[in-house]
Amino acid sequence: MNKSIFVSHSLIIWLLFLLVFSMPLQSENTQLDPSQIQPADSLYHPDQYYPYLDDGTPWRHTSDVKWGRLSVIVAGFVVSDAIGFQKLSTFWYKTERTTFHFHEVKRDIREYKQMDKIAHFIDAYYFSHLASKIYRWGGLSVPKSVLWGSITGSVWMLQIEIVDGFFKRWGFSQLDFMMNLMGSSYSALQQLYPEQLKGIRFKVSYFPSDAYLKKRTSEVSQTIADDYEGYTFWLSVNFYDLFPRDWKQSYPGWLAPWGIAVGYGAQNIANDVFNGQREIFFGLDIDLNKIPTGKNNLVKFMKDEFNMLRLPLPAVRISPTTIWFGFYF
């Protein structure tokens, strides 16, 4: 891999990443329009940031750091990181290593029918979202929680790329790196502009593939994380969120959680990562955040977490052949 090519691509992605935070944000001292605040909301606070995602965390313009909570957050990230790398070390010692190097782009872009690239995007999107929520719980303002959440998600994923750089069969993937930054950036945009983007989510469904259950996987794809035949990645669209405000007033409440999702998967790639067939799905989807469950913030938080999963619902596979599923996960 030509290092100059990697550096140039990385700079472009970092510029796009920084652009997210250079967009006009609501200042921490911005005065709120009282008509925009919903007093009945359980998260109501005189300093409430608007608009917001109702995810069980406090959305505020100014930071009110809870140092005890923040210490728990940092300790939790460190411990989780250590556990993750301890588990990775088991695989590390079974895999041939070499000096740090970059993965060949022409090879990288053809592997797994790009399932691994989508996985990196969604992983970074999810980890950045989770980290942002945890930072808000620790007392950070919305802009700061989103910024540090995106940085945390990006750094978390960057560690994986650095480790991959020492595996002889792989290498540091600049494509994975770019997808990581894109996932973290979309997480930031969705939180800062929820009225425009909360109706467009990325979700995952998983069921172990036959190749994984029967141990017919390749030597570099022996874990659930690499069982790409078992994963389906979804782009979910909730129409209610995309409707103009005046349309929403006449929209049936029971119909608001429902939307559609477009799924992407692959088969027959476990033994030969360069072959196989792409799978395209269409199916129903449900936004758990729109199901009334009261004002308990922990319940709201858990709903938002599980909303990353596409629940077992009807779907149809339209490629490579047509198959109808009563419930697909």
In tens digits, what is the pLDDT along the chain, a chain of 329 residues? 333 333 334 444 444 434 443 333 333 333 344 344 443 344 556 789 989 999 999 999 999 988 888 888 888 888 887 777 776 666 655 677 889 999 999 999 999 999 999 999 999 999 999 999 999 999 999 999 999 999 999 998 998 888 888 888 888 999 999 999 999 999 999 999 999 999 999 999 999 998 888 877 665 556 788 889 999 999 999 999 998 888 888 888 899 999 999 999 999 998 888 989 999 999 999 999 999 988 999 999 999 999 999 999 999 999 999 999 999 98
Whole-number pLDDT of residue 3 = 37
Largest CA distance in the chain: 62
**Both 254 and 285 in a single domain?**
yes
**Both 49 and 191 in a single domain?**
yes
Distance of alpha carbon 251 from alpha carbon 224, whole angstroms: 41
Tokens of 220: 């570099």
**Both 167 and 255 in a single domain?**
no
φ, ψ at 201 (rounded to 5°): -125, 160
**Both 32 and 174 in a single domain?**
yes
Distance of alpha carbon 125 from alpha carbon 129, whole angstroms: 6
**Both 215 and 301 in a single domain?**
yes
**Both 281 and 238 in a single domain?**
yes
**Both 235 and 163 in a single domain?**
no
pTM (predicted TM-score): 0.83
Of 165, 195, 225, which residue sits at a domain end?
195
Whole-number pLDDT of residue 92 = 58
Cβ count near 3 (within 10 Å): 8
Whole-number pLDDT of residue 229 = 92
CA dihedral sign of residues 206, 103, 278, 260: positive
Burial level of 76, CB count in 10 A (0-12/13-18/19+)? Answer: exposed
Rg (CA), the chain: 21
Distance of alpha carbon 223 from alpha carbon 84, whole angstroms: 14
Is residue 164 within 8 A of residue 85, CB to CB? The reply is: no
**Both 232 and 328 in a single domain?**
yes
Burial level of 36, CB count in 10 A (0-12/13-18/19+)? Answer: exposed
E-strand ranges in 169-246 read 200-206, 231-237
- From residue 83, alpha-carbon distances to 77, 158, 239 in Å are 10, 16, 40
Whole-number pLDDT of residue 44 = 54
Q: Residue 101 sits in which domain range?
A: 1-195
**Both 229 and 186 in a single domain?**
no
**Both 181 and 250 in a single domain?**
no
Q: What share of the chain is helix, strand, coil (3-state, %, to 5)?
A: 50, 15, 35
The residue type at 19: L
**Both 152 and 245 in a single domain?**
no
Is residue 276 within 8 A of residue 268, CB to CB? The reply is: yes
Please give the tally of structural domains in the chain: 2
**Both 72 and 166 in a single domain?**
yes
Of 139, 167, 195, which residue sits at a domain end?
195
